Amino acid sequence: MPAERALPTPEAEDLVAMVRAYAASELAPRVAQAEAEHRFPRETFAALGELGLLGMPYPVEYGGGGQSYEVYLQVLEELGAVWASVAVGVSVHVMSCFAPSLHWDADRRARELSTMLGGSLLGAYCLSEPHAGSDPAALRTVARRVGDGYRISGTKAWVTHGGEADFHLVFARTSDDRARGISCFLIPAGADGLSAGEPERKMGLTASTTAALTLDDVAVAEEQRVGPEGDGLPLALRALDSGRLGIAAVAVGVAQAALDHAVAYAHERETFGRRIIDHQGLGFLLAEMAAAVESARATTLEAARRRDRGLPFSRQAAVAKLVATDAAMRVTTDAVQVLGGAGYTQDFPVERLMREAKVMQIFEGTNQIQRLVIARALTRPR
């Protein structure tokens, strides 16, 4: 059963319905094979770009879709329910365009941002490092001033689209100041000294390429710095607030898909002369799964509505990411249990959904970090 939604406009209803139909007809038949082959579906991102889905929350005049985050996240959820690797890729691409959308002037947004959002290009967000994941202020990639530009050296870890992206939003240290010593740079693929390692061998999201990125004295011009020098860390954290909402939405989609498969199976499977859904023990488990999905969706959309209204939403984004991804892990695990032995096989997608849900508790800030963000917010004066 599809999710029941209360979308803000008829146009939004049409958009979500279109994406749901597209995902069912064009994505669903390809998911299992692409994931089994660990094959990055670049052509899918080009198609999504043609549909206007790679720039949904950005202004129309700069090539975006002009959608609110409330609508954008529900589109992401529909994609995530069918193919999480693709939905995560859309979320990462949207996050990679955040800094340029804030700091470029109108002419450059119209000229370059519109190309980045159009589907022919794919972005990567390069913040984490081998020793600096949950603590981005500890990053060691260095951007040295050389003439009228910079030379950047270092290693970035866990880069979604690593080796596949056309442009990279790279955060590098421009001074020793922990909080104000990091700057942001936009580096195109193919830059001399920029290379990607072998893709990581992951338990889930196997069609989403993740790799380390090495920068060996990469030359960048002054105009490739995004925003003022030293403003990189606040900019990265602002982008992560929105990125966490994207991951929360994908997690809700994964959980919804697991619930749908479990309910369908429980209607068909019989034991002791009754459908298993009619046994109270199983019925109550499915009810708890449904409650978890709807609670996660509501929490995520409340944070999105705050963002849309220009209200502070960092704490709410952390809550949404925590609640939605924990719910996805619990619901997908329970879905495997509902299907029993069948759920443990690759004949049904619930085992894949469970593997995909796990990483969502980890990236864009582990859920332990989300708890830290929430706890710190509670200590501030009101």
pLDDT < 70 stretches in the chain: 1
Strand, coil or helix: 5: coil
pLDDT at 64: 94
pLDDT at 75: 98
**Residue 153 CB-half CA count within 13 A:** 6
Choices 3.30.465.10, 2.40.110.10, 1.10.1040.50, 2.40.50.140: CATH for 123-233: 2.40.110.10
| Residues 88-140: tens digit of each pLDDT | 999 999 999 999 999 999 899 989 999 999 888 999 999 999 988 778 888 99
pLDDT at 138: 87
**Could you tell me the two tokens for 256?**
């919804």
pLDDT at 380: 84
pLDDT at 381: 76
| Burial category of 295 from C-beta neighbours within 10 Å (exposed 0-12, middle 13-18, buried 19 and up) | middle
pLDDT at 132: 81
Strands 123-126 and 167-173: parallel
So which residues are the catalytic ones? 364
Homologous superfamily assigned to 237-379 = Butyryl-CoA Dehydrogenase, subunit A, domain 3 (1.20.140.10)
Q: Where in the chain is the domain with CATH 1.10.540.10?
A: 10-117
Residue of 134, 148, 235 lying closest to 183 (CA atoms): 235
Per DSSP, 232 falls in state: H
pLDDT at 136: 85
Within 8 A by CB and 6+ apart from 304, the residues are 68, 69, 70, 72, 73, 245
Q: Where in the chain is the domain with CATH 2.40.110.10?
A: 123-233
Strand, coil or helix: 66: coil
Does CATH number 3.30.565.10 belong to domain 10-117?
Answer: no
pLDDT at 2: 75
